[in-house]
């Protein structure tokens, strides 16, 4: 990759999105559209990127990260004007630049390397990336002369019916000699259908003055597709999603039904893990090897070790050790550290809690703000009362504890190692290690009472 500064144009509102969120930040598989473009630049070896922002600038800057430089375009006067704002930030730099639209997330490092390589080798004033589309729609058309060289680019809104028939479109990715770009940006005018300063006009001006403009036609037309409305957004999200899944499959992950599996761009999944249908693995997830995830599960920012099964469950912001089993129908909320070989069965919920290795919580429990020691058994229906309506309190349960079914623990409270709670106990005071605690009313049996009542009612 020749040494070039990247200029990414992302100041537009994205009017056609009809959204309060700036177009640059609309997420696809958990990542903002324009971040895909920055990442492609990075991957191709571009060290310095200037991102032009304007509409919702503060929000866009926060959403895209601080590993790039930003230029502000306060009025969106067109892509040519946006480029001028970036060049101001570059100050007196010379050499070549590569300009990219912030709304075409499928651009990849390979094609950027090819474009910049050809540009550097030819010494052209500009080199344009183009593609041939079956349906060129609103893209700018690349008009070539009789010698097949690029002559100019015409926007769809300004094109004649004849020009609209051209299938070769402008990807809006270009390499420029910076000094020449600077010069010709000074010559463009907004005399066009949209009243904007078009960067594309620079190409025609260069050719008019006898400068060489090269073109690279992309083999894969998809990589140049831009997002201008929500139909484009859904279409490209589908293509990107498929790419993410194919990368996982090539890496040894079984995706049983790619059409109903949703994995975010930054997710890592180990080999021999099987992902069943209707499963969502979102931002921040790291999943080990040999796991079985789904069907019908949603994982957000969780870390799973190896050989873990998750069935019909919802897991967020938590970690899980090797060999743990989750579900069906578990809800593990933020802040949990679940150890190895833990069993979390049906209708159990945990929040901000530590469950050490070998804990078994099989059925119908709520554990919040608690720690549970190794190999403790949590009986069905066990509940921590961690909230008094004003504050949250902690429950500390030791190791090898047997919590009888429907134990209710009113926090703050501690249960010592090896203790046993009788079923149905309401624990309000600390329980020493190895003790039996029975905290419920004693059983009263009235012989024949039920039969006598029945007979009375039947007589009446
Ligand atoms: C642009 C090209 C078109 C090309 C298409 C490819 C121009 C005039 N047209 O059209 O030839 O086929 O991309 O996707 O360049 N932006 C700014 N400031 C502005 C205006 C736009 O930063 O004042 C940014 C937008 O945020 C966007 C990018 O530039 O990321 C492209 O702008 P957009 O309005 O989407 O242009 P297109 O109509 O797609
Ligand atoms: Mg666009």
200 close to ligand 1 (CB < 6 Angstrom):
yes
- Report whether residue 172 contacts ligand 1, using a CB cutoff of 6 Å: yes
Residues 195-222 have a mean pLDDT of 97
Q: What is the 3-state secondary structure (H, E, C) of 415-456?
A: ECCCCEECCCCEECCCECCCCEECCCCCCCCCCCHHHHHHHH
CB-count burial class (<10 Å; 0-12, 13-18, 19+) for 71: buried
Judge contact between 308 and 291, C-beta under 8 A. yes
Question: 226, 220 in Cβ contact below 8 A?
Answer: no
Q: Is the pLDDT of residue 72 over 90?
A: yes
Alpha helices in 102-160 (DSSP H): 109-122
A 10 A CB-CB count for 176 gives 29
363 assigned to active site: yes
Distance CA 355, CA 142 (A): 62
| The ligand 1 atom nearest the CA atom of 102 | 30
Q: Is the CB of 82 under 6 A from ligand 1?
A: yes
Q: What letter does residue 381 receive in the DSSP assignment?
A: T
pLDDT tens sequence across 264-285: 999 999 999 999 999 999 999 9
In the prediction, which pLDDT does 153 show? 98
Q: Specify the pLDDT at position 13.
A: 86
Residues in Cβ contact with 118 at an 8 Å cutoff, skipping those fewer than 6 apart:
127, 214, 216
Is the sign of the CA dihedral 294, 297, 298, 301 positive or negative?
Answer: negative
Q: pLDDT class for 459, splitting at 50, 70, 90?
A: very high
What average pLDDT does range 153-182 have in this prediction? 97
What's the pLDDT tens digit per position in 78-89? 999 999 999 999
Average pLDDT over residues 391-405: 98
Band (439; pLDDT cuts 50, 70, 90): very high
Token pair 């504890």 is found at 401
Per-residue model confidence (pLDDT) at position 164: 97
If 0-12 CB within 10 Å is exposed, 13-18 middle and 19+ buried, where does residue 319 land? middle
Closest-approaching ligand to the CA atom of 190: 1
Closest ligand (CA of 224) = 1
Q: Tell me the per-residue pLDDT of 316-335, one tens digit each, with 9 for 90 and over.
A: 999 999 999 999 999 999 99
What pLDDT is recorded for position 124? 97
pLDDT of the residue at 92: 77
Please report which ligand is nearest the Cα atom of 225.
Answer: 1
N-to-C CA span, the chain: 98
For 203, the enclosing helix (H) or strand (E) is: helix 201-208
Res. 367 pLDDT band, cuts 50 70 90: very high
pLDDT tens, residue by residue, 32-44: 999 999 999 999 9
Mean pLDDT over each residue of the chain, to the nearest integer:
97
Examine the pLDDT at 126 and tell me if it is beyond 80: yes
Whole-Å CA distances, 454 to 138, 443, 451, 459:
82, 22, 5, 9
Q: Is 81 in the pocket of ligand 1 (CB under 6 A)?
A: yes
Query: Given this model, what pLDDT does residue 119 score?
Result: 97
pLDDT beyond 80 at 9: yes
In order, the DSSP letters of 226-256 are: ---SHHHHHHHHHHHHHHHHHHHHHTT-EES
- What mean pLDDT do residues 348-368 have? 98
Let me know: does 107 contact 243? Beta carbons within 8 Å: no
Task: Judge if the beta carbon of residue 7 lies within 6 A of ligand 1.
Answer: no
106 lines ligand 1 (CB under 6 A): no
Atom of ligand 1 nearest to the CA of 77: 23
Q: How far is the CA of 53 from the centre of ligand 2 (A)?
A: 14
In sequence order, the 6+-apart residues with CB closer than 8 A to the CB of 57 are 11, 70, 72
pLDDT at position 93, please? 80
Nearest ligand 1 atom, CA 194 = 8
Closest CA to 239 of 94, 16, 26, 29: 29
Residue 93 Cα, ligand 2 centroid: separation in angstroms?
27
Report the pLDDT averaged over residues 7-29. Answer: 96
Ligand 1 and 198: CB distance under 6 A: yes
The rounded Å distance from CA 26 to ligand 1 centre is 16
pLDDT score recorded for residue 1: 74
**Mean pLDDT, range 200-226, rounded to an integer:** 97
Cα of 33 vs centre of ligand 2, distance in Å, is 12
């Amino acid at each position: 990759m020749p040494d070039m500064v990247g200029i990414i144009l992302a100041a537009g509102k994205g009017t056609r999105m009809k959204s309060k969120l700036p177009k640059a930040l609309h997420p696809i598989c958990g990542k903002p559209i324009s971040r895909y473009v920055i990442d492609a630049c990075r991957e191709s070896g571009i060290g310095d990127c200037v991102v032009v922002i304007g509409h919702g600038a503060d929000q866009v800057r926060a959403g895209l990260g601080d590993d790039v430089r930003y230029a502000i375009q306060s009025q969106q006067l067109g892509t040519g004007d946006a480029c001028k704002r970036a060049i101001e930030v570059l100050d007196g730099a010379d050499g070549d630049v590569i300009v990219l639209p912030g709304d075409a997330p499928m651009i990849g490092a390979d094609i950027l390397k090819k474009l910049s390589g050809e540009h550097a080798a030819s010494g052209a004033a500009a080199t344009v990336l183009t593609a041939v589309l079956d349906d060129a729609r609103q893209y700018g058309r690349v008009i070539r002369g009789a010698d097949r060289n690029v002559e100019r680019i015409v926007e769809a809104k300004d094109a004649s019916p004849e020009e609209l028939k051209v299938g070769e479109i402008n990807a809006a990715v270009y390499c420029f000699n910076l000094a020449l770009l600077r010069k010709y940006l000074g010559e463009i005018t907004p005399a066009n259908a949209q009243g904007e300063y078009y960067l594309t006009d620079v190409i025609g001006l260069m050719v008019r003055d006898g400068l060489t403009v090269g073109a690279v036609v992309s083999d894969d037309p998809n990589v140049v597709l831009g997002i201008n409305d929500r139909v484009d957004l859904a279409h490209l999200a589908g293509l990107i999603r498929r790419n993410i899944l194919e990368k996982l499959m090539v890496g040894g992950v079984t995706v049983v039904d790619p059409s109903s599996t949703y994995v975010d761009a930054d997710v890592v999944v180990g080999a021999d893990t099987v992902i069943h249908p209707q499963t969502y693995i979102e931002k921040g997830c790291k999943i080990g090897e040999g796991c079985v995830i789904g069907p019908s599960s949603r994982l957000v920012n969780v870390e799973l070790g190896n050989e873990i099964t998750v069935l019909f469950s919802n897991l967020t912001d938590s970690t899980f050790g090797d060999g743990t089993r989750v579900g069906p129908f578990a809800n593990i909320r933020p802040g949990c550290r679940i150890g190895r070989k833990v069993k979390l069965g049906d209708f159990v919920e945990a929040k901000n809690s530590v469950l050490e290795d070998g804990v078994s919580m099989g059925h119908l429990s709520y554990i919040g703000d608690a720690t549970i020691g190794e190999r403790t058994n949590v009986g069905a229906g066990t509940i921590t009362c961690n909230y008094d309506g004003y504050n949250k309190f902690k429950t500390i349960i030791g190791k090898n504890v047997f919590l009888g079914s429907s134990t209710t623990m009113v926090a703050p409270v501690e249960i010592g190692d090896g203790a046993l709670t009788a079923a149905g106990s309401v624990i309000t005071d600390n329980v020493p290690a190895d003790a039996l605690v029975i905290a419920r009313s004693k059983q009263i049996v009235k012989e024949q009472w039920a039969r006598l009542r029945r007979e009375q009612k039947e007589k009446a």
